[in-house]
Amino acid sequence: MKTDPSLAQPQSLVDIRGLSISFPHANQGKPLVRGVDLSIRAGECVALVGESGSGKSLTARSLIGLAGQGARIDAHRFDVNGLPALDFREHDWRALRGAFAGLVMQDALVSLDPLRTVGAEIGEAVALHAGLRCHAERSARVRAVMSDVGIPEPERRVRQYAHELSGGLRQRALIASAIAAGPSLLIADEPTTALDVTVQAQILAVLAARLREGVGVLLISHDLAVVADIADRVLVMYQGEVVDSGPTGSVLNNPSHPYTRQLLAAQPSALSRGHQLGSARMVPDPQALGESGELTILREPLPARPAPSDEIVLKVDAIGKRYARRGAAGNDMFTALDDVSFSVHRGEVVGIVGESGSGKSTCANIVLGLVTPSAGAVDFLGTRWNGAKLKEASRRALRPRLQYIPQDPLSSFDPRHTVQQLLQEGLFSVDLSRRAVIDRSVELLEQVGLDAGYLGRRPATWSGGQRQRVAIARAIAPEPALIVCDEPVSALDVCVQAQVLDLLAALQARLAMSLLFISHDLDVVRHVADRVLVFKDGRVVEAGEAERVFESPQHAYTRELMAASPSVRRVKRSLEPGGALMNRSLLVTL
Amino acid sequence: MSDLPLSPVSPIARPGWASRVPVPVLLAAAFLAVLAFSMAFPRVVTPYDPLVSDVAHAMQPPDATHWFGTDRIGRDVFSRVIYGARYSLLIGLSSMIVSLLVGLVLGVTAGLGRRAVDEGASRVFDVLSAFPPVLLSLFVVTFLGQGIVNMAVAVGIAGIPKFGRVLRSQTLGVRRADYVTHAVTFGMSRARVFVRHILPNVLAAVPVIATIDIGSAIIAVSALSFLGLGPQPPTPEWGVMLAEGRDVLRVAWWPSVFPGMAITLTVMAFSLIGKFLARVYGVRTR
């Protein structure tokens, strides 16, 4: 790409007005994307934010002619790289992909060819577009690109395959292959969604470095917090339309559209503790009359809950778990969990945070009595629950008192069962007549905000929020003392997450249950938990009252985790007009 | 803003695959329905007795009175094909049931059992599938003696590994499914989890394999009958008819071609329906 020196303004890479995309056989032929205006200049980061199905990925893919087979694209103006792209043919697009625009997708493991080394993958883009046919030149370029994206020891990594790299390195390799031919535009479709917060921060830093080099970035995310730090402008999409757009600071602090306001209000945070998220509203601040447009979030308090008692429900005593490494010799063991102790009191919500591989899920499985620990023991309601040589039969009587809400409820539903049968399963330990089972099922559905009409249906085609409600209804059916929630909201969009968290909090208070709440999302744990445990490499590195831990973290790792965690509260200081307003944190609770 | 349609989408209707059944599958189903009707009420379909010979009208080519012609001793080929459906289909069905029952027990045991049990059952499948199915059935018939029941058992034994292997892998998948783990957290006993969750979900694969298998069972039955190891003449079994027709093939094509077509069409119909079911239920048959 050669920059035209006659242009005074930074070059416009993409300029689109009134874009609409439709498929003849989807959505009754109605457009899935309507009236979208999008322009990206060199060195600028534009973020497309919206929930799943809002049309953000489709919009981004249409920029490189990958909207999909049979897609009908209409626009008043559709300039890509300064050329009218509406009547592009496939070979025009092909010349553009890689050379003008690189695409980074969410899942690097499936986006990289498993049969080729990372070096070959990146080298291909170099050979195709940069015209470097000479082998030595090409591999020098590949190594240069790899160090650009922060892959350590490029000489060694070029010979490795995608599955040999960690998630973060893999994502960097994918970015490297996207920028190898020196494109002016980088389209990143949820590039950090599957990654831990610390790795996510590193990947965002790699994107920021591209921006400084004058590359334009289109960043797609479902999470406003992720884009808050890096994006210059934000476009919020909802049901195929852009409902809010503008400089990042003004969209975050002064959203004009109700949807954006709702999105921001539903975000859990330190200030939302003890309050409902689903009903939270962003309204003009009544105390700041006169100052134009200042907004604040109004939240209703959650129903009062009984104070946690001293009675210990769950006592985890120095548990550890070691696995033999696959294909390794006898004593090469992998320690998944090492010397973890904690207890949960009646009516208490204990949060567990940590990155993937930190032992959170192993701990959950031992607490649930699904995995036997290699060391230590678990007591539940004063009885020995899990430990060496303990048989499942001795747990059976107490099983109904300890329930489980998984991340993906659908896979925990027997695919043949209706909601009625699923709930019956939860009630199987309770001795009830057939009639009483149905009455109780209806009552359970009402408690989770679903009506009796759902009883005869199967959850396979439902939305994530509805499925999670059924999973909650099933878990509370046997009146448990403790529910283990393993990432219960991480597959949900922010607004649905807010509803599910409110529901869990209300039920927890009403039924005086204890919750063991596992999540990688610090904001969510901060919102729900009374006490929190921070896991790292199978150990608890910090434990304490949630507010104390998040307010003044003692351990270096906790601080690192918190710094890496994206948050809408730390709004980018921008030099856009109105910057003074943006720098103020406006998310206050009344 | 309270009227924002933020609550999640209403549940989508079940995909209407039922209305999108491909035409060949519909034709196959219609053919089998006609066959089943003629099996049940052969007298309605044909006026002739399949066993009564009429030497005066032997070796008649197909015409308006004898649609499929007559054979060497003047029996009506059409009515023999119709009556023959009873033998061929019923023997095919019973041998499929033999394969299903033994394959189900072995496959589920292998899928649930310890490693040694799994290895044992899997080796049984290996040994059984090491022989070509017809050869294996031949061995068994030689060992048990001729006859309809023995032949059904023989063909059934040859079909065990197909059922056993699919049901074993199905069991392996289901026992590790999250919903089975979840049932354990309700405090259910092993037997209860097996009956409520594992068995029904394993059985979901059965209609698919059964439909595909019944076709190959019919071929095997006909082949054995053709070799004279099943029902004996004058039984109007399709394989037997093929064998009888072979003697006169130089002068008359109809006594062999029509039973041959009956076998081909029946097997094709079952296999079309089976493949369709496999796609609908997402079951892998290999």
How far off is chain B from A570, nearest CA to CA, in Å? 26
Does residue B4 form part of some domain? no
Any CB–CB contact under 8 A between B1 and chain A?
A: yes
For A221, list phi and psi in degrees, rounded to 5: -155, 155
pLDDT at A275: 87
Among candidate residues A512, A443, A515, A498, the one with its CA nearest the CA of residue A473: A443
pLDDT band of B284, cuts 50, 70, 90: low
Contact assignment for B14 to A370 by CB distance below 8 Å: no
Q: What is the DSSP string of A92-145?
A: HHHHHBTTTEEEE-S-HHHHS-TTSBHHHHHHHHHHHHS---SHHHHHHHHHHH
Convert the pLDDT of each residue in B182-205 to its tens digit.
Answer: 888 888 888 889 988 899 889 888
* Continuous segment of H or E residues that includes residue A386: strand A383-387
Contact list in A for residue B178 (CB cut-off 8 A) is 406, 408, 411-412
Helices (H) and strands (E) in chain A, counts: 21, 23
How big is chain A by its Cα radius of gyration, in Å? 26
Distance CA A169, CA A182 (A): 20
Any CB–CB contact under 8 A between A413 and chain B?
A: yes
Contact assignment for B1 to A426 by CB distance below 8 Å: no
pLDDT band of B15, cuts 50, 70, 90: very low
Contacts (Cβ under 8 Å, ≥6 apart) of A390:
A372, A384
Contacts (Cβ under 8 Å, ≥6 apart) of B150:
B140, B141, B144
Convert the pLDDT of each residue in A508-531 to its tens digit.
Answer: 988 889 999 999 888 899 999 999
Any CB–CB contact under 8 A between A331 and chain B?
A: no
pLDDT at A288: 57
The CA distances from residue A50 to A162, B81, B191, in Å, are 30, 66, 47
Strands A216-221 and A45-49: parallel
Angle ∠(A586,B2,B7) on CA atoms, nearest 5: 105
How far off is chain B from A514, nearest CA to CA, in Å? 17
Most confident range, picked from A272-281, A530-539, A581-590, B57-66: A530-539
Contacts (Cβ under 8 Å, ≥6 apart) of A48:
A38, A56, A59, A60, A218, A219, A220, A221, A235, A237
Any CB–CB contact under 8 A between B4 and chain A?
A: yes
Contact A14, A80 (CB under 8 A): yes
Contact list in B for residue A368 (CB cut-off 8 A) is 185
Distance CA B271, CA B28 (A): 9
Number of C-beta neighbours around residue A300 at 10 A: 13
Question: What's the length of chain A?
Answer: 590
Contact list in A for residue B13 (CB cut-off 8 A) is 461
Contact assignment for A461 to B189 by CB distance below 8 Å: no
Tell me what the mean pLDDT of segment B131-158 comes to. 88
pLDDT cut 90: percent of chain A above it = 32
Does residue B123 form part of some domain? yes
Contact list in B for residue A402 (CB cut-off 8 A) is 185
Does residue B36 form part of some domain? no
Those of residues 156-195 in B touching chain A at CB distance below 8 A are 177-179, 181-189
Angle ∠(A466,A467,A470) on CA atoms, nearest 5: 90
Contact list in B for residue A398 (CB cut-off 8 A) is 187
pLDDT band of A589, cuts 50, 70, 90: very low
How far off is chain B from A285, nearest CA to CA, in Å? 17
More confident residue, A294 or A573: A294
A243, A300, A396, A414: best to mutate for the B interface, most B CBs within 10 A:
A414
Which of A396, A461, A465 is the closest to B187 by Cβ? Answer: A396
Number of C-beta neighbours around residue A580 at 10 A: 8
CATH code of B250's domain: 1.10.3720.10
Residue of A nearest to B12 (CA): A461
Contact assignment for A463 to B8 by CB distance below 8 Å: yes
Q: b/e string for B127-165 if b means 16 or more Cβ within 10 A?
A: ebbeeebbebbbebbeeeeeebebbbbbbbbbbbbbbbb
Distance CA A559, CA B157 (A): 67
Residue of B nearest to A402 (CA): B185
The residue segments making up the domain with residue B134 are: 67-281
pLDDT at A331: 66
Does residue B167 form part of some domain? yes
Q: b/e string for A424-433 if b means 16 or more Cβ within 10 A?
A: bbbbbbeeee
Start-to-end CA distance of chain A, whole Å, equals: 52
Among candidate residues B256, B267, B138, B176, the one with its CA nearest the CA of residue B213: B267
Which of A403, A429, A463 is the closest to B9 by Cβ? Answer: A463
Which of B6, B179, B204 is the closest to A495 by Cβ? Answer: B6
| Structure tokens belonging to residue A233 | 């402008």
| Structure tokens belonging to residue A246 | 């503008």
Which of A395, A411, A457 is the closest to B179 by Cβ? Answer: A411
Contact list in A for residue B7 (CB cut-off 8 A) is 465
- Mean pLDDT, chain A, as a whole number? 84
pLDDT tops 70 at residue A230:
yes
For A352, list phi and psi in degrees, rounded to 5: -120, 120
Tally of domains in chain B: 1
Which of B1, B7, B182 is the closest to A412 by Cβ? Answer: B182
Contact list in A for residue B170 (CB cut-off 8 A) is none
Among candidate residues A430, A492, A417, the one with its CA nearest the CA of residue A457: A417
For A16, list phi and psi in degrees, rounded to 5: -130, 135
Which of A392, A406, A496 is the closest to B8 by Cβ? Answer: A496
Those of residues 61-120 in B touching chain A at CB distance below 8 A are none
Convert the pLDDT of each residue in A169-214 to its tens digit.
Answer: 888 888 888 888 888 999 999 888 778 888 888 888 889 998 999 9
Contact assignment for B200 to A415 by CB distance below 8 Å: no
DSSP B198: I
Contact A43, A67 (CB under 8 A): no
Any CB–CB contact under 8 A between A398 and chain B?
A: yes
B9, B14, B181, B186: best to mutate for the A interface, most A CBs within 10 A:
B186
Contact assignment for B187 to A262 by CB distance below 8 Å: no
Instruction: For residue A532, list its beta bridge partners.
Output: A351, A544
Contact list in A for residue B196 (CB cut-off 8 A) is 414, 425
Convert the pLDDT of each residue in A368-387 to its tens digit.
Answer: 999 999 999 999 998 999 98
How far off is chain A from B3, nearest CA to CA, in Å? 10
Does residue B48 form part of some domain? no
Does residue B175 form part of some domain? yes
Distance CA B115, CA A208 (A): 53
pLDDT tops 90 at residue A344:
yes
Task: Please identify which residue in the block is written with the tokens 């307003």.
Answer: A581
Distance of CA A7 to the CA centre of its chain: 40
pLDDT at B124: 93
Contact assignment for B186 to A429 by CB distance below 8 Å: yes
Helix (H, G, I), strand (E, B) or coil at A350: strand
pLDDT band of B67, cuts 50, 70, 90: confident
Does residue B146 form part of some domain? yes
How far off is chain B from A392, nearest CA to CA, in Å? 9
Any CB–CB contact under 8 A between B16 and chain A?
A: no
